[in-house]
């Protein structure tokens, strides 16, 4: 009589289980890919645009607060030294007069505006999150956005200008995967570059991080160039942006803080140029 081979049966069962598991994964992957393709035929949801708009308003408001603090500090230093900058242009003089009268009450008012805006970002995100889930956004990407949003809220509540700017700006990069789900008029790579340019502008004395950001900006350029060709965008705009990034890289390597500030703003202006 032939003996029943239990080992062979176990091996066969494991083999069939593996085959079915692979088929299931393949079908799920195909389903996700199909959903992704369908999403990319859809326009960007208004709820996601609303998140983006409020985030821009928040960062603009935080930049106003930082400008107020820096100008106030500068005027205080000038007052102690008993001198003024002779070469200050008319715009600087006007700003000087404006910021001379700033009080702690004024700062509280500006921070209240920032707190309201970060609440609006949170509210608009809450509106979009349901859509993101329906459109099969990666759960890890959703989690990351929510974590960084919490950090931004905490920094604004603490009236910490530096942390507020840096953490709020991270949300720009966090939004990239969500915009990739849909059909966009402009390449999403511009958003990545905006994040790096702003981080370079916001960070103080962190030269290694600035170098890392400028290197990542350069890595984005080939992908952006490819997208520009497909979307039939002016090559001159790309060349201007590329040159401004290379100029910024040079002054970062030289650790020239004032020049970095100027060159980073030029880079950001060139990114805005794509939207016009």
Residue-level pLDDT, tens digit, the chain, 276 residues: 445 556 666 677 776 667 665 665 555 544 444 444 555 578 999 999 999 999 999 999 999 999 998 887 777 655 555 544 444 455 555 555 655 667 888 899 999 999 999 999 999 999 999 999 999 999 999 999 999 999 999 999 999 999 999 999 999 999 999 999 999 888 999 999 999 999 999 998 899 999 999 999 999 999 999 988 877 778 889 999 999 999 999 999 999 999 999 999 999 999 998 864
**Pick from 201, 219, 192, 218: which is nearest to 274 by CA?**
192
DSSP label at residue 205? S
Find tokens 């091996």 and name the residue.
11
Position 32 scores a pLDDT of 47
DSSP string over 119-135: HHHHHHHHHHHHHHHHT
Residue 158 and residue 47 in one domain: yes
Structural domain ending residue among the three candidates 184, 201, 218: 184
**Residue 113 CB neighbour total at 10 angstroms:** 15
Residue 11 lies in a domain: no
Distance CA 170, CA 148 (A): 7
Position 74 scores a pLDDT of 73
Position 34 scores a pLDDT of 46
**Pick from 183, 190, 205, 178: which is nearest to 261 by CA?**
205
Residue 244 and residue 179 in one domain: no
Q: What is the pTM of this model?
A: 0.78
Structural domain ending residue among the three candidates 163, 184, 205: 184
Query: Given its phi and psi angles, is residue 43 left (phi above 0), alpha (psi -120 to 50 degrees) or beta?
Result: beta
Find tokens 């500090």 and name the residue.
73
Expressed as residue numbers, the domain containing 173 is 43-78+91-184
CA distance from start to end of the chain: 85
Residue 60 and residue 130 in one domain: yes
**Pick from 250, 258, 249, 225: which is nearest to 239 by CA?**
225
Residue 170 and residue 224 in one domain: no
Angle (CA) 23-25-30 rounded to 5° is 95
Asked if 205 and 260 count as a contact pair (C-beta separation under 8 A), the reply is: no
Summary count for the chain: helices (H), strands (E): 11, 0
Residue 23 lies in a domain: no
Position 13 scores a pLDDT of 73
DSSP string over 14-43: HHHHHHHHHHHHHHHHHHHHHHHHHHTTSB
Cα 112 from chain centroid?
23
Residue 129 and residue 55 in one domain: yes
Residue 17 lies in a domain: no
Q: How many domains does the chain have?
A: 2
Asked if 249 and 241 count as a contact pair (C-beta separation under 8 A), the reply is: no
């Amino acid at each position: 009589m032939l003996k029943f081979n239990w080992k062979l049966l176990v091996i066969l069962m494991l083999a069939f289980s593996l085959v079915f598991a692979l088929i299931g994964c393949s079908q799920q992957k195909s389903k996700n890919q199909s959903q992704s393709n369908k999403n990319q035929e859809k326009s960007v949801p208004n709820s996601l645009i609303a998140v983006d708009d409020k985030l821009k308003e928040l960062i603009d408001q935080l930049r106003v607060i930082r400008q107020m603090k820096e100008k106030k500090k500068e005027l205080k230093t000038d007052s102690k030294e008993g001198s003024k900058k002779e070469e200050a242009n008319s715009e600087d003089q006007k700003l000087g007069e404006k910021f001379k009268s700033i009080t702690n009450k004024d700062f509280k008012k500006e921070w209240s505006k920032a707190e309201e805006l970060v609440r609006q970002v949170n509210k608009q995100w809450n509106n979009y999150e349901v859509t993101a889930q329906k459109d099969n956004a990666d759960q890890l990407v959703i989690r990351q956005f929510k974590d960084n949003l919490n950090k931004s809220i905490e920094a604004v509540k603490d009236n910490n200008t530096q942390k507020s700017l840096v953490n709020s700006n991270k949300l720009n990069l966090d939004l990239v995967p969500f915009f990739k789900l849909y059909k966009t008029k402009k390449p999403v790579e511009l958003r990545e570059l905006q994040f790096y340019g702003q981080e370079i502008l916001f960070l103080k004395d962190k030269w290694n991080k600035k170098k890392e950001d400028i290197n990542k900006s350069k890595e984005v350029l080939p992908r952006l160039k490819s997208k520009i060709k497909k979307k039939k965008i002016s090559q001159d705009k790309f060349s201007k942006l590329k040159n401004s990034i290379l100029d910024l890289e040079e002054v970062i390597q030289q650790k020239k803080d004032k020049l970095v500030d100027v060159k980073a703003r030029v880079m950001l202006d060139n990114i805005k140029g794509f939207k016009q």
